[in-house]
Amino acid sequence: METKVYQTDQLHEAAEKLKKGELVAFPTETVYGLGANALLPEAVKQVFAVKGRPSDNPLIVTVADFTMVQDYVDNFHPLTKKIVENYWPGPLTLIFTIKKNSLPSVVTGGLSTAAFRMPANKKTRELIKLAGVPLVGPSANTSGKPSPTTSEHVYHDLKGKIAGIVDDGAASIGLESTVLDLSDSNKAPVILRPGAITQEDLSKLLGVTVALDGHLIRENEAPKAPGMKYKHYAPDTKVLLVKNNDWEKAKVWVKENHLRAGVLAGPTISEKMRYDTACVFMYSKDTAESAAKGLFAGLRALDNKALNLDVILAEIYPEEGIGAAYMNRLKKSASQHYFTPEN
């Protein structure tokens, strides 16, 4: 199969592919999504096959406007209006209890709930309008690997497997959306996956304490939202998280064990380590925002087989604000493993 890269003036062509049940990747402000007609079970099944994604992992339904959501949900959480007015379109996914049999079970993972998102990317919202149907939109990559933040990442993973990719440059945020559970109207909202819209943001807006569910789903458990697995976003190369006061020890450990190590960090640590390691992927600034934007691109760059690395050493940030989302992804890419001299 030829995988075509669509530009702005070719959205009609891409939409026609989606209507017919073919797969087209699309840009968002978070990561690139793998689009399929959410109302065609056979098209959705192709998404699982192409990604190698477990079928118990529910898919996010991507919409162009809130009216689309109302086709599938009739019992909204009382805080829905305030949340939607403030954060849609944007990097926030909302989970609702849906009307019975309103969406194919392959989309929901057999659950009575479904996740919906309206991305900020105008090209993608226009694509959905042209297709006339909601799209499933998991990350457009091989399942479990670092998510794609450019069309080139998508092409690398899925070339020849999907009909096309709508190109709109690099994602501005770089981490998947916050997932907020609104499925129980009698309970306060709960964050199932942290993202750029933070726990602090939502609690302040809503005037209630929005909890962050820290439960990690293992391989034999069914998640309620994407990205909840214990191990996820992982490159083939081993990743170790390095605490701020352990970088000198890590440098010694690399030398003593004759390892080819890569470093994934901001400018300060990158400068300290660049002459003692095989290669460095440097975030643009020493901030959690820069780290979040560069994480997946960095993991992909350092996982290049040509580099032949033994290990990737990654910088950690405080788990507050977007740092919580960064650490959520980084910990899963490392299977929760921190550097110790015994590694």
183 is an annotated ligand-binding site residue: no
**Four-point Cα dihedral 107, 109, 111, 113, nearest 10:** -40
Residue 329 annotated as part of some ligand binding site: no
Q: Compute the distance between CA of residue 40 and CA of residue 34 in angstroms, rounded to an integer.
A: 14
Consult the annotation and say whether 30 binds a ligand.
yes
d(CA 259, CA 251): 10
Q: Is 218 annotated as a binding residue?
A: no
The answer to whether residues 91 and 177 touch, using CB atoms and an 8 Å cutoff, is yes
What DSSP string describes 117-185? E--S-HHHHHHHHHHTS-EE--BSSSTTSPPP-SHHHHHHHHTTTSSEEE---S-SS-SPPEEEE---T
Q: Is 147 annotated as a binding residue?
A: yes
- Residue 121 assigned to a binding site: no
Task: Tally the C-alpha atoms within 13 A of residue 129's C-alpha that lie toward its C-beta.
Answer: 12
User: Is residue 125 a known part of a binding site?
Assistant: no
Alpha-carbon distance of 122 to 104, in angstroms, equals: 27
Q: Residue 86 annotated as binding? A: no
Both tokens of residue 96?
């609702």
Is 335 annotated as a binding-site member? Answer: no
Residue 20 CB coordination number (10 Å): 11
The answer on whether 193 is annotated among ligand-binding residues is yes
From the annotation, which residues make up the binding site? 30, 53, 57, 113, 117, 139, 147, 177, 193, 233
Per the annotation, binding residues for ATP are: 53, 57, 113, 139, 147, 193, 233
Pick out the residues of the known binding site for L-threonine: 30, 117, 177
